[in-house]
Structure 1
Amino acid sequence: MAVSTRTKGGAARSLIVVLIVIAVVAALGFGYASPYIALNNLKRAADARDAETVNQYVDFPALRESLKQQVTGLLTHRLDSHGNGNPLAAIGAMIGVALIGPLVDAYATPDGVAALLNGMPPRGEPGERPPAPPADGKTANNAGNNAANNSAKNAANNAANTTARSAPDNAGNSATPPQPPQTTAGYRSLNEFVIRYQHGAGDARYTAIFRREGLFTWKFAAVDLND
């Protein structure tokens, strides 16, 4: 009888150990996948302009500050490259500073988040705004399709954003159509997860940065336009 009791007790302990191991492995797996899940959820919400869900996955104060710094850097680099010895450089600097606030305001929105996650970062151009949502409300299912669809929608305004995964749209045009952005995603550190975008060899690259909040929560908090 005692042997039977000990056997049952040992089996129970073994079952508990197995359950604990399964729970730990599941938690580790979910923890590793959590930024990918956050990215997917945010992208779907941003493409649908679901502001309530977007707010759950974006640290807007941090993103605004990052956009301000990055756009200022873009304008400074542009002025430095064209302004040495140029009397118009000071005027350009003042105009550039005036552009920063409205541009940041425009991109620190669901429209701006959708643009940033679809390969369309701000360029620091006068009057620049993120593209409007599709009129029919339809959204793509993944980053590549979203980038292609949104770029094609804005082809008239920005040829660099047009995409063609198959044949060129204009048969008579011999120019090679721009390709959709190449994207790579992964951990940069324990608490940072990044998505890198590049439209082609030699083209400008930029990075969208998610930061950990708590154990499994991630928020879109910054961009690097000079990555």
Structure 2
Amino acid sequence: MAVSTRTKRGANRPLIVILVVIVVIAALGFVYASPYIALNNLKRAADARDAQTVNQYVDFPALRESLKQEVTGLLTRRLDAQGNGNPLAALGAMIGVALIGPLVDAYATPDGVAALLNGMPPRGNPGERPPAPPAASNPPATPAPAPVPASPTAGGAANSAANKNAAPPQPPETTAGYRGLNQFAVTYRHGAGDARYSAIFQREGLLTWKLSAVNLNE
């Protein structure tokens, strides 16, 4: 009887080892995928302007400080490019300093986070604000009148051709990956001639990631 029991235990040992290995691999895979999951959850919440969920995935004090530094650097580089001989450089510097605060305030919001995660970073322009939520979320109170069927005229054909030729806005090129054990970055670029920028997530604990910085000069 004792020999039979030992035989059963020996037969079950490989199965237990296999199960443990599977669990460990699954856990490591989940840990590795955790920033991608956080990015996906944050983007959905930001696009829906779900402020409560956005707050769970954004370190707003750190993001505000990063935005302040990055926008300041952006304006400094712009003024340096104009040259010291430009008589409007001092005026431009004063205007730039004045607009940093409102711009940072505008982008350290769910609207700003949605813009950052959709390829629309701050450009450092006076009065700049992130785009508002889509108008589709607020349908008109009265129904629109039924469209009148268009007759096959030359004008209709021209409009049809114009609609076919109008290219829809292209989403930005996006790459994402680790930049260290505790840092994860998403890099955006619209085209070959456009500057790149990154949204940077920091790990908090083992599985928690929060958007905490941007880099406007990749």
Alignment TM-score, normalising by the size of structure 1: 0.81
Tell me if the contact between 1:184 and 1:195 (Cα under 8 Å) persists in the aligned partners.
Answer: yes
Residue of structure 2 equivalent to 1:130: 130
Residue of structure 1 equivalent to 2:170: 179
Map Cα deviations across residues 60-98 of structure 1 (whole Å, 9 max, x no partner): 111111100100001001111114112221111111001
Residue of structure 2 equivalent to 1:149: none
CA pair 175-132 structure 1, distance change in 2 beyond 3 A: closer
Letter in 2 for 1:188: R
Q: 1:220 aligns with which of 203, 208, 211?
A: 211
Residue of structure 2 equivalent to 1:165: none
Map Cα deviations across residues 120-165 of structure 1 (whole Å, 9 max, x no partner): 0000000000000012239xxxxxxxxxxxxxxxxxxxxxxxxxxx
The CA deviation at 1:176 is: 7.8
Tell me if the contact between 1:103 and 1:129 (Cα under 8 Å) persists in the aligned partners.
Answer: yes
Residue of structure 1 equivalent to 2:117: 117
List runs of 5+ in structure 2 lacking aligned partners.
139-159
The CA deviation at 1:42 is: 0.2
Structure 1 window deviating more from structure 2 (35-44 vs 15-24): it is 15-24
Q: How does 1:153-172 map to 2 (within 5 A)?
A: 171=162
Q: What is the DSSP-based 3-state SS (H/G/I as helix, E as strand, rest coil) of the residue aligned with 2:137?
A: coil
List runs of 5+ in structure 1 lacking aligned partners.
139-168
Residue of structure 1 equivalent to 2:54: 54
The CA deviation at 1:175 is: 9.6
Alignment TM-score, normalising by the size of structure 2: 0.84
| Counterpart-to-counterpart distance in 2, 1:6 and 1:131 | 70
Percent identity over the alignment is 81
Which of 1 and 2 has greater Rg?
2
2:201 corresponds to 1:210: yes
Tell me if the contact between 1:45 and 1:53 (Cα under 8 Å) persists in the aligned partners.
Answer: yes
Residue of structure 1 equivalent to 2:182: 191
| Counterpart-to-counterpart distance in 1, 2:7 and 2:19 | 18
Q: What is the DSSP-based 3-state SS (H/G/I as helix, E as strand, rest coil) of the residue aligned with 2:72?
A: helix
Q: How does 1:36-51 map to 2 (within 5 A)?
A: 36-51=36-51
State the Cα RMSD in Å: 2.2
Map Cα deviations across residues 170-210 of structure 1 (whole Å, 9 max, x no partner): 829x9987633111111121111111111111211111111
Residue of structure 1 equivalent to 2:93: 93
| Counterpart-to-counterpart distance in 2, 1:47 and 1:111 | 8
Q: How does 1:68-87 map to 2 (within 5 A)?
A: 68-87=68-87
| Counterpart-to-counterpart distance in 2, 1:137 and 1:223 | 28
Give aligned pairs, total: 197
Q: What is the DSSP-based 3-state SS (H/G/I as helix, E as strand, rest coil) of the residue aligned with 2:162?
A: coil
| Counterpart-to-counterpart distance in 2, 1:178 and 1:133 | 17
| Counterpart-to-counterpart distance in 2, 1:177 and 1:99 | 32
Tell me if the contact between 1:48 and 1:137 (Cα under 8 Å) persists in the aligned partners.
Answer: no
